[in-house]
C-alpha cells in the first residue's frame, strides 16, 4: 500500500480501472461493429456513445431501433437498463456531498458500473475527502476514453474483427462479473433470478422488445416483496 503513496489519486483511479477495461474494450468493439452491421451511421453510433454513454443500453437500443420498435419502447428500455445507476448515485452521494454542485453534476455524466465499482470500496475504506473526486475522475475518464475509442474502432473495423473469437461474449461476461458481488442477500438473489427468468421467458414468447424492461422490473418487484417490504406505504 505504501508504494502507492507517491501516486496521485487520479493516477491511482486510472490504474485501478485498467484491468476492468479488459472487458470494456471488446464490448465497445462489439457495439461499434454491431451498429455498422445494422446500418447505423458513424455519427449515430458515436453520438449514442457520447450522449447515452452506457454500453448495454446502447446495444439494446440499437437492436430495437433496427427492428423498428416504437420510440417509447426503446427509450423506456434504455432507462430501465440504466436505472441501476440511480443506486450508484445514491451510494456515492454521501461521499461526494462536500463537492460544489457543479462538480457533482459533471461527475454524474461519467458514472458507470466500472467507475462505481472502483471507487466505492476505496471510499468505504475511508479515503480523505480531497482524494475522492480525483480518484473517481481517474477511473471514470479512463473508461470514457476507452469507450469512445473502442466504439469508433469497432465501427471502422467492423467486419475485419476476428470472427472466430467470440468477442460478443464479453458483453454478458462483463455484466456477470459485476452481478456476482451484488448477490449478497436473499432479496438480491430473488431479484436476479426473477429478472433472469422473466427476461428469458418474455424473449422466448417473441416479445423480445420489452423483455429486459419487464424482466428487470419484475425482479425489483419480487425482490422487494421477498424482503418483506410492502409495496405500498403504510403512512
Binding to another protein (CB under 8 A): which residues in 129-158?
Answer: none
* SS3 label, residue 192: helix
Stretch that binds another protein, among 1-9, 141-149, 152-160, 161-169 (CB under 8 A): 161-169
| DSSP 8-state symbol, 5 | T
Exposure string of 194-230, with b = 16+ CB inside 10 Å and e = fewer, is: bbeebbeebbeeeeebbbbbbbbbbbbebbeebeeee
Site string for another protein, 91-120 (x = CB under 8 A): -xxx-xx---x--xx-xxx-x-x---x---
Instruction: Supply the angle between the helices 113-124 and 9-37 in degrees, to the nearest 10.
Output: 160
Cell digits of residue 60? 439494446
Smallest distance, Å, CB 99 to another protein? 9
Instruction: Supply the angle between the helices 71-82 and 211-226 in degrees, to the nearest 10.
Output: 40
Q: Compute, in degrees rounded to 10, the torsion defined by CA atoms 157, 160, 166, 171.
A: 10
- 42 lines the binding site for another protein (CB under 8 A): no
Distance CA 136, CA 107 (A): 8
Binder to another protein among 82, 131, 153, 157 (CB under 8 A)? 82
Smallest distance, Å, CB 223 to another protein? 4
- Cβ atoms of 201 and 224 closer than 8 Å: no
Distance CA 130, CA 119 (A): 13
Binder to another protein among 69, 119, 135, 137 (CB under 8 A)? 69
Pick between residue 4 and residue 97 the one whose CB is nearest to another protein.
97
Binder to another protein among 20, 135, 139, 210 (CB under 8 A)? 20
- 37 lines the binding site for another protein (CB under 8 A): no
Stretch that binds another protein, among 129-137, 144-152, 154-162, 208-216 (CB under 8 A): 208-216
Stretch that binds another protein, among 125-133, 142-150, 155-163, 188-196 (CB under 8 A): 188-196
Pick between residue 6 and residue 222 the one whose CB is nearest to another protein.
222
Smallest distance, Å, CB 196 to another protein? 4
Binder to another protein among 28, 32, 138, 219 (CB under 8 A)? 219
Amino acid at each position: 500500500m505504501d508504494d502507492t503513496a507517491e501516486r496521485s489519486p487520479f493516477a491511482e483511479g486510472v490504474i485501478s480501472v485498467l484491468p476492468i477495461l479488459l472487458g470494456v474494450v471488446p464490448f465497445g468493439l462489439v457495439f461499434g461493429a454491431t451498429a455498422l452491421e445494422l446500418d447505423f451511421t458513424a455519427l449515430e453510433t458515436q453520438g449514442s456513445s457520447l450522449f447515452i454513454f452506457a454500453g448495454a443500453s446502447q446495444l439494446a437500443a440499437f437492436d430495437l431501433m433496427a427492428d423498428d420498435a416504437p420510440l417509447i419502447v426503446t427509450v423506456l428500455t434504455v432507462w430501465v437498463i440504466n436505472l441501476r445507476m440511480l443506486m450508484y448515485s445514491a451510494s456515492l452521494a454521501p461521499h461526494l456531498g462536500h463537492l460544489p454542485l457543479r462538480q457533482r453534476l459533471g461527475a454524474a455524466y461519467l458514472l458507470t458500473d466500472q467507475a462505481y465499482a472502483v471507487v466505492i470500496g476505496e471510499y468505504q475504506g475511508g479515503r480523505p475527502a480531497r482524494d475522492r473526486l480525483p480518484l473517481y475522475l481517474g477511473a471514470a475518464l479512463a473508461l470514457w476514453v476507452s469507450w469512445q475509442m473502442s466504439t469508433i474502432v469497432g465501427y471502422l473495423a467492423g467486419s475485419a474483427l476476428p470472427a472466430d473469437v467470440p468477442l460478443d461474449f464479453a458483453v454478458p461476461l462483463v455484466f456477470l462479473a459485476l452481478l456476482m458481488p451484488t448477490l449478497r442477500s436473499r432479496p438480491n438473489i430473488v431479484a436476479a433470478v426473477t429478472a433472469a427468468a422473466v427476461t428469458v421467458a418474455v424473449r422466448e414468447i417473441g416479445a423480445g422488445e420489452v423483455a429486459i424492461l419487464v424482466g428487470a422490473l419484475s425482479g425489483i418487484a419480487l425482490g422487494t416483496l421477498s424482503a418483506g417490504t410492502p409495496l405500498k406505504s403504510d403512512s
